[in-house]
Structure 1
Amino acid sequence: MKALDGIRVLDLTRALAGPFCTLMLGDYGADVIKIEIPGTGDDTRQWGPPFIGEESAYFLSINRNKRSLTLNFKEEKAREIFLKLVEDSDVVVENFTPGVMSRFGLDYETVKKSNPNIVYCSISGFGQNGPYQSRPAYDQIMQGISGLMSITGHPEGEPEKIGIAVTDIGAGMWAAFAVMSALYRREQDGEGQYIDISMLDAQVAWLTYQAGYYFAYDRPPQRLGKAHPTLVPYQAFMGQDGKYFNVAVGSDRLWDRFCQAVKREDLKDNPDYASNGVRVENRATLSPLLQEHFLTRPADEWVADLQANNVPAGPINDLADVFSDPQVLHREMLLEIPHPTLESVKQTGLPIKFSRTPGGLDQHPPLLGEHNHSILHDLGYSDAEIEDMVVKSVI
């Protein structure tokens, strides 16, 4: 038994934001039917290198626990099939440019006629209204527009993007949360609803304390590289061996422990550094002083001493380090799943650990159209009818 057993999701998404949303739902038991364009499918099936065999590593990373059905919405028969699926489904998720679903005749108001209780979630770059609604959007564009790149990078350097497509993934997470909220509300009052998720809205909501600093000072916060804007020392330092490590002194109590751990108790009661407020004011002198001190020993030795004194500290791992880390492995955040053409594929694990209804990796990332026959048979179509659909480019 999984938390979302019995929930069916019709997934008309591609790229990352939408597929990440439906990945989250599928991991915890929802029956996700991924509806793709015949012949090509999700854009990310072609995104590479790298490829594993003939499969895009990108696609494989975000499309497990889904079944693939191909439908050509230019054909009336395909739209008929979709609306037939809607009758027995709970959720529709799509991330086309606003207006595209209306042109297909599959917008919320139309779909709701087939199932008044449907939860219909649209994910787009800028939302379903406003002056930017028709603009195309990819993650890097959104990281810039949302202000994220203005606060990421070295103070004297160029703006930098985050190393993953965080605005896509963030929008997908907001969408999954929204879908679950709407399903809960439907349980209370019996009504579905429409959900409008914007990548820009999602990222602006994530600005949190950086937005708070802007509201407080009425000036944009600046890039601080590896440092924190309001806590010092709370940043990365380099050890003698050229490796970097992080230190997070989040309170004056931790500052006392930090000074003891790094054998610089002379700093603890120094009036220029005795409290976080003055440490922030004197960041320009304290950070270089500490960096010079940390160049006297290798990074791992500093981390060990800091952790021994209960000071938050840790190495800056690359992904080879991450996926061999004993804590990551213990928490089953590296998994493997059988695949029909690749024998097996590695996957990141499930981050939510339920005590009664755990999720799981039950289905490999699907081949394009892999489940056409089984899904259409369940809808009552015969083998002859399905073959006719193939001939007429419906599926």
Structure 2
Amino acid sequence: MNYEPLSGIRVLDLTAVVVGPAATWRLGQYGAEIIKVENPEGDLMRGLGGLSPTGQHAGAYLHLNRGKRNICLDLKAEGSAEVMQRLIAWADVIVANMRPKALVRLGLDPATVRAQHPEKVYCLLTGYGSDGPYGGFPTYDSVVQGAVGLPGLTMARDGAPKYVPLLICDHVVGEIAAGAILAAVVNQQRKGQGVTLEVPMFETMAAMVLQEHLAAQSFDPPVGPYGDQRLLSPHNQPIKTKDGFLAVTINTDAQVRAFLIATDRGELASDPRFSSVSARAVHVAEWFEIRGAPLLQRTSTEWLAVFRAADLAAMPIHSIESLSEDPHLTAVNLISHEEHPTEGRTAVLRSSIRADDGYLPTRSPSAPRGWDTRAILEELGFTAHETAVLVDQGAAVAR
């Protein structure tokens, strides 16, 4: 399968850690050519993401930076500015998640770049929108989680605030940024127009939370409290079975009847509190208590067979370890393996997206720091002597 709708689109990646690399990784999935600029110390995620054979390719870095060529530059060193100017001229799209003040100091901020290159698409990922009082504040995923109320939701449901044990804000905002960039590229290709995009993590995730949990407060006057009461129910939890837990969700009237019959509570199907969507919305607390009641008389495997026969949505609660061994994921070959240039045998996560009769192609492995520096400098027109000077001056790091 050779579906590459972004083939020929050049992306200059000035991002690090997760949110920016997630956005550019998605563009690479669609065939964009990406050059990642990394500082001499390396992307923080190379080590922060956990252990690796060399200490330089943590798993998260490995997966989020596939399909990207790597040039290593000290942007504060003499000589690097010329390299950056040529890279900007090369690119169709620039993506950055450096703090705005740092970009201004380096002359790489959107206003400066687009004053010289108005046709470019420049996407700046920020923690907080630049036009608000939090603009320029430092942030990380867990800080944004707290700021948008994710731990507050678990406190409302479970009595204690908890982070989602996944860099959920980084991933979600990265994907949304990739979508915004794709739309901008379409406009750029059709009309020759560039644009400056800003995608702030705080506002983006706050809007997502409020889409669900502004709820009855969406109306004037309000018709009820904040929060989707189904999701906030303390009974909205995995259902305990004889030997484990299951995830089960039932929403339609037909599904509710089937669930109650399958769990030997068929007499409740005619209870007016639970017989319709609107009735269950009024009696949400009672309904979720019934729905989440333990099913201790059978094993998870036995209950799954019952729910499959009733055509209900149910799955086992995987551990991190068992997820990678799931029979469906194994059958569709989500995980394969390859030899990495420095890390030995490594796992590869193929694209989850099918195009016609095949999945999007697997991209090249994530590159070691400075792996492509010499080749990229040559492509930008630097001679071997000029490259040697840049390396000697510390402006560039090359393998």
Task: State the TM-score, normalized to the length of structure 2.
Answer: 0.90
Separation in 2, partners of 1:290, 1:66: 47
Separation in 2, partners of 1:62, 1:325: 22
Deviation by residue 1:63-91 (Cα, 9 ceiling, x = unmatched): 11111101111134211111112112111
Q: CA contact under 8 A between 2:11 and 2:33: conserved in structure 1?
A: yes
Deviation at 1:152, TM superposition (A): 2.7
Q: CA distance change for structure 1 residues 259 and 219 in 2, over 3 Å: closer, same or farther?
A: closer
- What is the 5 A alignment of 1:55-134? 55-134=57-136
Q: State the partner residue of 1:211.
A: 214
Q: What secondary structure is seen at the aligned counterpart in 2 of 1:203? A: helix
Q: CA distance change for structure 1 residues 388 and 356 in 2, over 3 Å: closer, same or farther?
A: farther
Separation in 2, partners of 1:47, 1:372: 24
Answer yes or no: is 1:11 the counterpart of 2:13: yes
- What is the 5 A alignment of 1:216-365? 216=219, 217=222, 219-221=225-227, 228=231, 235-241=237-243, 243-289=244-290, 294-355=295-356, 359-365=360-366
Separation in 2, partners of 1:362, 1:152: 38
The code of the aligned residue for 2:151 comes to: M
Q: What secondary structure is seen at the aligned counterpart in 2 of 1:268? A: helix
Deviation at 1:357, TM superposition (A): 8.7
**Which 5+ residue runs of structure 2 have no aligned equivalent?**
none
Q: CA contact under 8 A between 1:239 and 1:294: conserved in structure 2?
A: yes
Deviation by residue 1:309-350 (Cα, 9 ceiling, x = unmatched): 111111111122222222223333223333112233113221
**Which 5+ residue runs of structure 1 have no aligned equivalent?**
none
Q: State the partner residue of 1:380.
A: 381
Give structure 1 regions of 4+ aligned residues with deviation exceeding 4 angstroms: 232-235, 280-293
Deviation at 1:157, TM superposition (A): 2.1
The code of the aligned residue for 1:179 comes to: I
Q: State the partner residue of 2:31.
A: 29
Q: CA distance change for structure 1 residues 116 and 28 in 2, over 3 Å: closer, same or farther?
A: same
Separation in 2, partners of 1:374, 1:82: 15
The code of the aligned residue for 2:213 comes to: Q
Deviation larger for 305-314 or 346-355: 346-355
Deviation by residue 1:290-310 (Cα, 9 ceiling, x = unmatched): 555611111221122011111
Q: What secondary structure is seen at the aligned counterpart in 2 of 1:194? A: strand
Q: CA distance change for structure 1 residues 159 and 353 in 2, over 3 Å: closer, same or farther?
A: same
Q: 2:22 aligns with which of 12, 20, 23?
A: 20
Q: What secondary structure is seen at the aligned counterpart in 1 of 2:134? A: coil
Deviation by residue 1:163-211 (Cα, 9 ceiling, x = unmatched): 2111111111111011101011112211111000100121022222222
Q: What secondary structure is seen at the aligned counterpart in 1 of 2:79? A: helix
Separation in 2, partners of 1:320, 1:263: 33
Deviation larger for 281-290 or 131-140: 281-290
The code of the aligned residue for 2:371 comes to: E
Q: CA distance change for structure 1 residues 276 and 112 in 2, over 3 Å: closer, same or farther?
A: closer
Deviation larger for 64-73 or 269-278: 269-278
- What is the 5 A alignment of 1:161-176? 161-176=163-178
Q: CA contact under 8 A between 1:37 and 1:72: conserved in structure 2?
A: yes
Q: CA distance change for structure 1 residues 356 and 90 in 2, over 3 Å: closer, same or farther?
A: farther
**Count of residues paired in the alignment:** 389
User: How high is the sequence identity, in percent, across the aligned residues?
Assistant: 28
Separation in 2, partners of 1:153, 1:320: 27
Q: CA distance change for structure 1 residues 233 and 260 in 2, over 3 Å: closer, same or farther?
A: farther
Deviation by residue 1:355-374 (Cα, 9 ceiling, x = unmatched): 28953223111100100011
Q: CA distance change for structure 1 residues 78 and 291 in 2, over 3 Å: closer, same or farther?
A: closer
Q: CA distance change for structure 1 residues 337 and 29 in 2, over 3 Å: closer, same or farther?
A: farther
Deviation larger for 279-288 or 368-377: 279-288
Q: CA contact under 8 A between 1:31 and 1:66: conserved in structure 2?
A: yes
Separation in 2, partners of 1:358, 1:115: 35
Deviation larger for 298-307 or 152-161: 152-161
Separation in 2, partners of 1:234, 1:80: 57
Q: CA contact under 8 A between 1:17 and 1:171: conserved in structure 2?
A: yes
Deviation at 1:261, TM superposition (A): 1.9
Q: CA contact under 8 A between 1:303 and 1:314: conserved in structure 2?
A: yes
